[in-house]
């Protein structure tokens, strides 16, 4: 196990995609210390910015102690191993991750788990915008794996999801699940507006209240329980909506009936 401790508070963005179990694998502390990172526009060595220690413990593979909110691209594309961040994490954490596990004992920044393919990300604080969502201009959303956020998530999360599961135990911001085609999103508390806008498939389940429902969803019925994945079922009853009609979509939106009495005046007449 490698323990990284930042030597200072970073003002400038630090690009450190080398902080990944696959990269550290088989390298000595000295070799790890000489890996390239960027601090602002200056090329540095990892050892210039972090104290690097090795312990005999097997897991996790890497621990970052204290705040790393300016340290970007940690665990990018990682396939194996485990990273624990004891503090806040920087942008693009676990981007395009293909396996292994990342735990954040703090908040996560934008584009965490962006376009991830597999693996597990657990965030014990909040996650910012674009959780799991792809890079600008791309429609290649998260394809597999699982993300669990104990707190809230920002806007535009889970965009273009095409597989895998996102579980948010707090609230979700606007445009949650934008244009998803497959996979599942579960929001235990409340969801912002434009929920599931332009979705063409997949499912989004909200156990709390919904800010406002897109007018382009049509009611399909009421359901008692909804399966999120093999380990989790959400207790209803839920209104079931189909949409987004603007995309001739066939996605399913499950919205808690008891938590959303405002919907009954509009939709109960179709039931």
Sequence length of the chain is 271
Nearer to another protein, 42 or 55 (CB): 42
**Shortest Å distance, C-beta 235 to another protein:** 25
**Shortest Å distance, C-beta 98 to another protein:** 16
**Shortest Å distance, C-beta 227 to another protein:** 25
Which of residues 27, 33, 38, 223 is near another protein by CB under 8 A? 38
Six-digit token pair at 68? 């790393």
Which of residues 51, 59, 135, 235 is near another protein by CB under 8 A? 135
Report the alpha-carbon distance of residue 112 to residue 134 in Å, rounded: 10
Nearer to another protein, 11 or 231 (CB): 11
Contact call for residues 213 and 198 (beta carbons, < 8 A)? no
Determine, following the binding rule CB under 8 A, whether residue 267 of this chain makes contact with another protein. Answer: yes
Determine, following the binding rule CB under 8 A, whether residue 12 of this chain makes contact with another protein. Answer: yes
Nearer to another protein, 188 or 244 (CB): 244
Distances (CA, A) of 259 to 89, 188, 191, 250: 33, 11, 11, 24
Determine, following the binding rule CB under 8 A, whether residue 250 of this chain makes contact with another protein. Answer: no
Determine, following the binding rule CB under 8 A, whether residue 15 of this chain makes contact with another protein. Answer: yes
Which of residues 68, 85, 91, 127 is near another protein by CB under 8 A? 91
Six-digit token pair at 168? 């948010």
Of 18-26, 78-86, 138-146, 224-232: span binding another protein (CB under 8 A): 138-146
Determine, following the binding rule CB under 8 A, whether residue 67 of this chain makes contact with another protein. Answer: no
Six-digit token pair at 135? 């890079």
Of 53-61, 130-138, 201-209, 251-259: span binding another protein (CB under 8 A): 130-138
**Shortest Å distance, C-beta 212 to another protein:** 8
Which chain residues interact with another protein by CB under 8 A? 11-13, 15, 38-42, 70, 91, 110-111, 129-130, 134-140, 156, 174-175, 178, 193-194, 197-198, 212, 214-219, 244-246, 248, 266-267, 270
């Amino acid at each position: 196990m490698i323990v990284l401790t930042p030597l200072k508070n970073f003002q400038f963005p630090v690009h450190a995609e080398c902080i990944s179990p696959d990269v550290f694998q088989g390298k000595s502390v000295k070799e790890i210390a000489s890996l390239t990172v960027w601090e602002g526009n200056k090329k540095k060595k990892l050892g210039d910015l972090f104290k690097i220690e090795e312990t005999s413990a097997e897991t996790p593979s890497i621990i970052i102690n204290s705040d790393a909110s300016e340290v970007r691209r940690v665990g990018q594309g990682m396939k194996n191993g485990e990273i624990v961040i004891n503090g806040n994490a920087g942008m693009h954490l676990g981007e395009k991750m293909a396996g292994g596990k990342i735990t954040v004992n703090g908040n996560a920044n934008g584009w965490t788990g962006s376009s991830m393919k597999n693996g597990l990300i657990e965030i014990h604080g909040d996650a910012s915008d674009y959780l799991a969502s792809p890079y600008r201009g791309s429609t290649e959303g998260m394809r597999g794996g699982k993300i669990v956020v104990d707190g809230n998530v920002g806007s535009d999360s889970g965009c273009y999801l095409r597989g895998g599961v996102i579980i948010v135990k707090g609230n979700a911001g606007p445009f949650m699940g934008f244009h998803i085609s497959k996979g599942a999103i579960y929001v235990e508390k409340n969801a912002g507006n434009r929920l599931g806008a332009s979705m063409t498939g997949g499912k989004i389940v909200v156990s709390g209240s919904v800010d406002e429902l897109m007018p382009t969803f049509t009611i399909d019925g009421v359901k008692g329980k909804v399966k999120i994945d093999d380990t989790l079922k959400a207790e209803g009853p839920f209104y079931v909506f189909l949409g987004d009609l603007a995309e001739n979509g066939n996605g399913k939106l499950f919205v808690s009936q008891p938590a959303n009495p405002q919907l009954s005046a509009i939709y109960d007449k179709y039931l």
